Amino acid sequence: MRIIMAGFGTVGQGFAEVLHKKTDRLNRFNESVKIVAAFDSKSFVADENGLDPLELVERKKSTGSVGSEKLKSGIDVLDSVDYDVLVEVSPTNIKDGGAGLKHVEHALKNGKDVVTVNKGPLALKFSELNKLAEKKNALLRFEGSVGGAMPIINLCSENLKGERVKSIRGIFNGTCNFILSRMDKGLPFEQALKEAQQLGYAESDPSYDIDGIDTACKVVILANSIFRRNVTFSDVSITGITSVSAEAIALAAEHDMVIRLIGEVSDTVLEVSPRLIPLGHPLSVSGTLNIAQIRTDLAGPITVSGKGAGRIETASAILSDLIAIMDRRR
């Protein structure tokens, strides 16, 4: 199996490390797995005989670029290298999908399987991409796009095939959950946000997180993949956490409750908003964990939790999708 990695940033480095670490596990498919090209926003490197994953990581860390060749466009790389699977890990662009959307579309049009954790293409054009994959008999897999290491998409679509999923409610953004958890301890919003930035949980521009945009993208992906809806980011009712006051946190505590940013999706609901959650409820977790409660018709509520971010954690979800593709090929 020949892999091209698009958007070789933090998650890309994590996947390269995981691929190196799990070589023995992948060997059971009697098929060599190698990275034949990788590119970031500035550079690329390609070798049809395979690139050393750890050398890619080391070069990126030491020089800031994955390759020595200047990148004209990712499409040029996709057209010039023979490959089987595109692993697309470019940063999310919710305005127009960015280069990531072009990469995914181009790969699918050419009948290539795609594994992505990029939420932009999925939140904006899920239906079109899914139809394109079906038309070209290609696989589009995206477990890591929601919840990072927390299994939810494949859990619902594969392990719970006999169930009717009624609704999914969850905490899908660890940054917001960390901020609200610190506010539970009496910290003002701005101080909690600054602490999150200092610890690396929040970006210098935290708007994607605190305005609910990141969670909304994930709700769209769940709505389309699990509930077979045809919705996009613009269909989500979004309220972030910037309006959550210290007074509201204190009032909730008086009633043995906490406030958490909850994404909810069902056949009729598509919403992101701060909610009152009783203490002791599965969704009252603190810290940076992601958690989801899946309501089904037969098994009732099923709760899953895990790290929603992190390069190795997210890479674990990419690996599971890659193995699923290898299973089908076998």
Extended beta strands in the chain, E state = 2-6, 34-39, 43-51, 69-70, 85-88, 113-116, 140-141, 165-171, 237-238, 257-266, 270-278, 289-296, 301-307
- 281/117 Cα distance (integer angstroms): 29
Can 136 be counted among the known catalytic residues? no
As a 3-state breakdown, the chain gives helix, strand, coil percent values, each rounded to 5, of: 45, 25, 30
- 239/248 Cα distance (integer angstroms): 15
Indicate if the alpha-carbon torsion angle 309, 310, 313, 315 is positive or negative: positive
Strands 165-171 and 237-238: unpaired
Please list, in sequence order, all residues whose beta carbon lies within 8 angstroms of the beta carbon of residue 312, skipping any fewer than 6 positions away: 14, 17, 18
User: Which residue type does 30 have?
Assistant: N
Indicate if the alpha-carbon torsion angle 135, 139, 143, 144 is positive or negative: negative
- Annotated catalytic residue: which of 21, 131, 218, 307? 218
Please report which residue ranges of 227-284 form alpha helices under DSSP H: 246-254
Please list, in sequence order, all residues whose beta carbon lies within 8 angstroms of the beta carbon of residue 58, skipping any fewer than 6 positions away: none
**Other Cβ atoms closer than 10 A to 61:** 9
- Going from the C-alpha of 251 to that of each of 171, 184, 189, 210, 260, the distances in angstroms are 21, 11, 16, 21, 14
Burial of 200 (0-12, 13-18, 19+ CB in 10 A): exposed
Q: Which residues are catalytic?
A: 218
